[in-house]
């Protein structure tokens, strides 16, 4: 009986501490979408994302990685559907939608994105990221045409650190906004 009482008391203390911490967090942030997440919040979110991606998916490699023909379709798709949040250069800066998102869209050229595996990028594009503005672009049903389009995007994302001013200018001509 003592063990049960201690367990219940400990659980109650943990619940109260969690509730007080949550309340304090809400009072401090107000759940506003403007500020950047803190270091701890970012670390926890990335760890959760890493745990959510199955190991066999993480290990996938882009079958189009050696195909220069994947660049143009990936660039076009990105320009039409991704630049509203991520910007033509992949920086995520100064976009109408991206500025209002919390967390802000990541700089796709940065190591935090470029260090992800091809499989991780594919998974994130296909399934989206819960509690962010990143939608799922997949249908939930595998399709060769859909998979090819996502792999073209992965190829283009890998190209973003080397994007040229001419490519950005071409993208501006086909941006939806």
> What is the spatial distance between Cα 68 and Cα 104, in angstroms, rounded to a whole number?
30
pTM of the model: 0.78
Among the residue ranges 28-42, 69-83, 124-138, 154-168, the one predicted with the least confidence is 28-42
For the 54-174 domain, the top CATH level (class) is mainly alpha
Has residue 33 got a pLDDT over 70? no
What's the half-sphere exposure (Cβ side, CA atoms, 13 Å) at 64?
A: 24
Enumerate the domain spans of the chain: 54-174
> Residues 100-119: what's their mean pLDDT?
93
Largest CA distance in the chain: 74
% the chain with pLDDT above 90 = 52
Predicted local confidence at residue 32, as pLDDT: 63
Helix ranges (H only) for 65-136 are: 71-81, 83-86, 111-114, 118-127
Instruction: Check residues 35 and 155 and name the one with the higher pLDDT.
Output: 155
> What is the spatial distance between Cα 48 and Cα 42, in angstroms, rounded to a whole number?
10
The helix (H) or strand (E) run that includes residue 150 is helix 144-159
CB-based burial, 58-67: b 16+ in 10 Å, e otherwise? eebebebeee
Query: 139, exposed or middle or buried, with CB in 10 Å at 0-12, 13-18, 19+?
Result: exposed
Q: Is the dihedral of CA 46, 51, 54, 60 positive or negative?
A: positive
> What is the spatial distance between Cα 34 and Cα 172, in angstroms, rounded to a whole number?
26
Instruction: Check residues 89 and 65 and name the one with the higher pLDDT.
Output: 89
> What is the spatial distance between Cα 62 and Cα 65, in angstroms, rounded to a whole number?
5
> What is the spatial distance between Cα 3 and Cα 93, in angstroms, rounded to a whole number?
55
> Residues 104-122: what's their mean pLDDT?
95
Predicted local confidence at residue 30, as pLDDT: 65
């Amino acid at each position: 009986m003592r063990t049960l009482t201690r367990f219940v008391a400990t659980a109650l203390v943990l619940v109260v501490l969690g509730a007080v911490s949550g309340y304090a967090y809400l009072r401090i942030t107000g759940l506003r979408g403007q500020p950047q997440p803190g270091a701890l919040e970012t670390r926890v979110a990335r760890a959760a994302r890493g745990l959510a991606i199955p190991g066999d998916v993480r290990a996938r490699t882009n079958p189009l990685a050696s195909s220069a023909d994947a660049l143009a379709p990936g660039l076009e798709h990105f320009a039409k559907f991704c630049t509203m949040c991520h910007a033509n250069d992949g920086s995520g800066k100064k976009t109408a939608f991206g500025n209002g998102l919390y967390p802000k869209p990541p700089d796709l050229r940065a190591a935090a994105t470029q260090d992800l595996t091809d499989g991780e990028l594919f998974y994130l594009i296909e399934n989206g990221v819960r509690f962010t503005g990143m939608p799922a672009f997949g249908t939930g049903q595998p399709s060769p045409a859909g998979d090819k389009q996502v792999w073209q995007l992965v190829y283009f994302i890998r190209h973003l650190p080397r994007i040229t001013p001419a490519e950005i200018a071409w993208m501006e001509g086909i941006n939806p906004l």
